[in-house]
């Protein structure tokens, strides 16, 4: 073989390397209940190898990958907030290679049957009256809160966050559970906060830190807000007097690897690679489905 042939062949050799990740799924949408209050959406599931992971679980292990190999990535969309008297929609899963984070559960509403419950997901959606709070997925997120009617405050349950259970309504405000902070980007940022519940009177139920949306209020009338984009935050629940519930925030995939490597984003993905810092580069993927590879 010629020298040029040897060089060309060597470029195709798969070289092993270690990769850290943050994979956050889409948050659940808030619920809606006619003439009453509904639950906040649960945050998207969060799995991470740096600082902390979701649901109070043990820190995830870094992946052993190879160059010149395609790995699948999907960034989950947030679930839509309810526009009729029903549960909010669950968020969509986010995936990197063998790692799947589960979409957040929709907040409880008041349609018939199981639609009265908060949805199960990465973090559970909060409940409405006569409903059951959603259950979080182990090592990804926490349960939603439950609704309560304690005059003069009537409030649904807050959506669960990656770092905390959603707050109960009634004596409490029905705030969304807080998310989890990680330093995978080089700075400490928080993701996957639960959505606040709908309430009859102020104060507004706050979304959890990490992009959770606020719940709506009947008096004075205040609209629910959506989970933040690329946070996995849950959407705010509806207070049941005209306004719709809010949607959950989309998820995100962040990958950290040695600064000697360079990533290639395949068709269908929206992503960017950072400059080298502290011995690492970071790839942030904000939308789509496709493949990535390294050289």
Enumerate the domain spans of the chain.
Answer: 20-295
Most confidently predicted of 42-46, 145-149, 239-243? 42-46
More confident residue, 135 or 8: 135
How confident is the model at residue 12, as a pLDDT? 61
More confident residue, 129 or 203: 203
pLDDT per residue over 141-172, tens digit each? Answer: 999 999 987 776 788 999 999 999 999 997 77
Q: Of 39-48, 52-61, 67-76, 240-249, where does mean pLDDT reach its minimum? A: 240-249
Q: How far apart are CA 45 and CA 15, in angstroms?
A: 31
pLDDT per residue over 26-37, tens digit each? Answer: 999 999 987 778
Model confidence at 8, in pLDDT bands (50, 70, 90)?
Answer: very low
How many Cβ atoms are within 10 Å of 16's Cβ, its own excluded? Answer: 8
How confident is the model at residue 23, as a pLDDT? 99
Q: How far apart are CA 157 and CA 166, in angstroms?
A: 7
How confident is the model at residue 113, as a pLDDT? 58
Model confidence at 73, in pLDDT bands (50, 70, 90)?
Answer: very high
Does the reported pTM lie above 0.85? Answer: yes
| 6: pLDDT strictly greater than 50 | no
Q: How far apart are CA 53 and CA 94, in angstroms?
A: 15
How confident is the model at residue 242, as a pLDDT? 67
Strands (E), 49-183: 63-66, 71-74, 94-96, 99-101, 148-150, 153-155, 180-182
How confident is the model at residue 115, as a pLDDT? 66
Strands (E), the chain: 16-24, 46-48, 63-66, 71-74, 94-96, 99-101, 148-150, 153-155, 180-182, 189-191, 199-201, 217-219, 252-258, 263-265, 269-273, 280-294
Residues with Cβ within 8 Å of residue 166, at least 6 apart in sequence: 39, 40, 42, 123, 124, 126, 133, 142, 143, 144, 145, 157, 158, 159, 160, 174, 175, 176, 177, 194, 197, 208
How confident is the model at residue 21, as a pLDDT? 98
- What is the mean predicted confidence (pLDDT) over 190-194? 98
Model confidence at 2, in pLDDT bands (50, 70, 90)?
Answer: very low
| 112: pLDDT strictly greater than 60 | no
How confident is the model at residue 11, as a pLDDT? 52
The total number of residues shown for the chain amounts to: 295
| 64: pLDDT strictly greater than 90 | yes
- What is the mean predicted confidence (pLDDT) over 84-93? 94
Model confidence at 3, in pLDDT bands (50, 70, 90)?
Answer: very low
């Amino acid at each position: 073989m010629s020298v040029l042939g040897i060089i060309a062949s060597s470029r195709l050799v798969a070289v092993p390397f270690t990769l850290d990740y943050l994979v956050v799924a889409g948050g659940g949408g808030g619920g809606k209940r006619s003439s009453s209050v509904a639950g906040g959406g649960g945050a998207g599931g969060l799995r991470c190898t740096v600082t902390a992971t979701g649901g109070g679980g043990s820190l995830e292990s870094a992946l052993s990958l190879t160059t010149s190999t395609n790995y699948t990535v999907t960034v989950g969309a947030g679930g839509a907030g309810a526009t009729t008297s029903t549960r909010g929609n669950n968020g969509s899963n986010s995936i990197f290679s063998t790692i799947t984070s589960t979409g957040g559960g929709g907040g409880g509403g008041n349609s018939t049957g199981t639609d009265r419950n908060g949805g199960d997901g990465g973090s559970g959606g909060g409940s409405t009256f006569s409903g059951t709070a959603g259950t979080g997925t182990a090592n990804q997120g926490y349960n939603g809160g439950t609704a309560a009617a304690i005059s003069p405050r009537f409030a649904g349950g807050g959506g669960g966050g990656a770092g905390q259970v959603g707050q109960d309504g009634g004596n409490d405000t029905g705030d969304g559970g807080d998310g989890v902070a990680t330093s995978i980007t080089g700075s400490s940022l928080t993701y996957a906060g639960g959505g606040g519940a709908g309430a009859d009177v102020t104060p507004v139920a706050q979304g959890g830190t990490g992009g959770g949306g606020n719940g709506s209020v009947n008096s004075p009338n205040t609209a629910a807000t959506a989970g933040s984009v690329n946070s996995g935050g849950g959407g705010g629940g509806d207070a049941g007097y005209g306004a719709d519930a809010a949607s959950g925030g989309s998820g995100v995939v962040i990958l950290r690897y040695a600064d000697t490597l360079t990533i290639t984003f395949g068709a269908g993905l929206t992503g960017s690679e950072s400059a080298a810092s502290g011995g690492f580069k970071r790839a942030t993927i904000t939308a789509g489905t496709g493949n990535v590879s390294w050289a």
